[in-house]
Amino acid sequence: MVVGFDYGSSNCAMGVIGENNLVELVPLEQGKHYLPSTLYTHHSALVVDFVAKHLTGTSFEQDYKSQRQALLNTLPRIKSDLDLAADEQSIFIGREAINEYVQFPEEGYFVKSPKSFFGATGLKQGQINFFEDIATAMILKIKQRAEVSLQQSLTHTVIGRPVNFQAVGGEESNQQALGILERAAKRAGFKDVAFLYEPLAAGIDYESNLTQNQKVLVVDIGGGTSDCSFVQMGPSFRGNSERDHDFLAHSGKRIGGNDLDIALSYHGLMPLLGLGSTFKSGLTLPNQAFWQACKINDVNLQSQFYAQAHTRELMTQLREVSEPELFQRLIDLQQNKQGHQLVQQGEAAKIALSSQQSFNCDLGFLTNDLSKLLDLDDLALAVDDSISQIVTLAKQAIKEAGVTPDVIYLTGGSAQSPLIKAALKQHLGDIKMVNGDHFGSVTAGLTKWAQMLYK
């Protein structure tokens, strides 16, 4: 069976063509169609164990086990240390992963938006292997859940991809990320894997209902990337199996909804942990540690923040700060690995402020009854730079196309923000804006493309 697969930075979703040739999203978790892009495990080696067991008896088994043999050799000791029963669940995805992390933040590995790391420059082979294993485990579990829901085996898929996985690294980063995704999907059991630009996928869904041709600027603001595709759409184009010549321009950057969450968490919440306070000497505390704590989509900064050497450095600074009770919260967050929990509150505030004036962030996991009220002004100040970069991408696509779009089609989780819409209108003029299904457009387009590609 053919499936469209949005392996997103924030959420994952799958779609199939159902009755009356309409796209149907597949339930993936407790009846819900969208599964948060998260994974939690008690130890990173358990991901390797999970994948290796699945690959037993397949054509991938020998190569995989030879590449991961050193880690596989450590499993008996690790399982003994963790006191894991043979049948005990050790890999959690989606909301289950979030729940496990909130309960046991210091005891395991929690990965949010793994796709954001796939194109990172400077990754060593061991790190690439690690991300391949995370992607394989997630795709495998999602695929299994979809097959249970559909009562059919999934064999072919089209997976969405951003225009650029990273702001730096160029095509080398893109190929690295696509290689990780393709190997993971095939190890998870897909016989054939194709990729489609996410903004084009979103545009395909929009195009389905067009009765006349239009020049459309698709602005897709995902969890990890923002992409703009300037595409000719409509009745004259939608039957084409090859759409490259319909593209007038592309632009994309590794900035998305996750970056807005991080920015709001940093500017709005980190002052409660000492950001902006001073040493006893009067000098302002450096902001590096506060930024590292929030930057949950940067594997290198997270490694630096949670390193034992950094713990000693923070403890030394504690004796010199003028407000030790605030700085102690940062140390507690570092010790308990609660950076993701902090940014989750920033994300909740961002979502709420798209439709209301204020939101009270619950930081009780740091200190009893600790909270912070954030409003639209806080959000506007925090995300101003990120929104400016998104506007620049839109301008770049229009300039490259050399023509004004008939319509701007907005999709992606953060595209509903009134701040983004206002900024686009201010800088691009009074161009008609259409709101897509902020989460489902990409999945629907991928599904329609998969149906045409594999028919």
CATH of the domain at 411: 3.30.420.40
Distance, in Å, from the CA atom of 14 to the CA atom of 282, rounded to the nearest integer, reads 55
Distance, in Å, from the CA atom of 321 to the CA atom of 328, rounded to the nearest integer, reads 10
* Shared domain check, 375 and 266: yes
* Shared domain check, 241 and 313: no
User: Would 200 be classed as within a structural domain?
Assistant: no
User: Would 442 be classed as within a structural domain?
Assistant: no
Beta bridge partners of 91: 41
Looking at per-residue pLDDT, the higher value among 107 and 120 belongs to 120
Distance, in Å, from the CA atom of 265 to the CA atom of 350, rounded to the nearest integer, reads 10
pLDDT of residue 439: 67
Distance, in Å, from the CA atom of 132 to the CA atom of 178, rounded to the nearest integer, reads 11
- Which residues neighbour 317 within 8 Å (Cβ) at sequence distance 6 or greater? 279, 285, 327
* Shared domain check, 301 and 173: no
pLDDT of residue 167: 61
Looking at per-residue pLDDT, the higher value among 393 and 238 belongs to 393
Domain that holds residue 375: 258-382
Q: Is 323 left (phi over 0), alpha (psi -120 to 50) or beta?
A: beta
Q: Is the pLDDT of residue 100 over 70?
A: yes
* Shared domain check, 341 and 231: no
Which amino acid is it at 274?
A: G
User: Would 128 be classed as within a structural domain?
Assistant: yes
Q: Is the pLDDT of residue 355 over 90?
A: no
Q: Is the pLDDT of residue 129 over 90?
A: yes
Q: Is the pLDDT of residue 200 over 90?
A: no
Alpha helical stretches, state H, 188-323: 198-207, 257-264, 288-294, 299-306, 308-318
Structure confidence by residue, pLDDT tens digits, 321-338 = 999 999 999 999 999 989
* Shared domain check, 392 and 250: yes
User: Would 199 be classed as within a structural domain?
Assistant: no
- Which residues neighbour 312 within 8 Å (Cβ) at sequence distance 6 or greater? none
Neighbours of 38 (CB within 10 A): 24
User: Would 62 be classed as within a structural domain?
Assistant: yes
Structure confidence by residue, pLDDT tens digits, 244-259 = 788 899 888 888 888 9
Structure confidence by residue, pLDDT tens digits, 64-83 = 999 999 999 999 899 888 88
- Residue located via tokens 């391949």: 132
Band the pLDDT of 269: cuts 50, 70, 90: very high
In 3D, which of 243, 194, 242, 241 has the Cα closest to residue 216? 243
* Shared domain check, 429 and 411: yes
* Shared domain check, 245 and 141: no
Distance, in Å, from the CA atom of 135 to the CA atom of 96, rounded to the nearest integer, reads 17
Band the pLDDT of 450: cuts 50, 70, 90: very high
Q: Are 363 and 272 in contact (CB under 8 A)?
A: yes
User: Would 453 be classed as within a structural domain?
Assistant: no
* Shared domain check, 402 and 335: no
Looking at per-residue pLDDT, the higher value among 241 and 39 belongs to 39
User: Would 287 be classed as within a structural domain?
Assistant: yes
Domain endpoint, select from 357, 382, 407: 382
pLDDT of residue 438: 63
Q: Are 196 and 176 in contact (CB under 8 A)?
A: no
* Shared domain check, 151 and 30: yes
Q: Is the pLDDT of residue 137 over 90?
A: yes
* Shared domain check, 359 and 230: no
Phi, psi of 146 (to 5 degrees): -65, -40
Q: Are 320 and 313 in contact (CB under 8 A)?
A: no
Looking at per-residue pLDDT, the higher value among 84 and 124 belongs to 124
Structure confidence by residue, pLDDT tens digits, 7-33 = 988 889 999 998 888 899 999 998 999
* Shared domain check, 285 and 158: no
User: Would 195 be classed as within a structural domain?
Assistant: no
Q: Number of folded domains in the chain?
A: 3
Residues in the chain: 455
* Shared domain check, 68 and 217: no
Strands 156-161 and 192-197, by their bridges, are parallel
Q: Is the pLDDT of residue 186 over 90?
A: yes
Q: For all residues of the chain together, what is the average pLDDT? A: 91
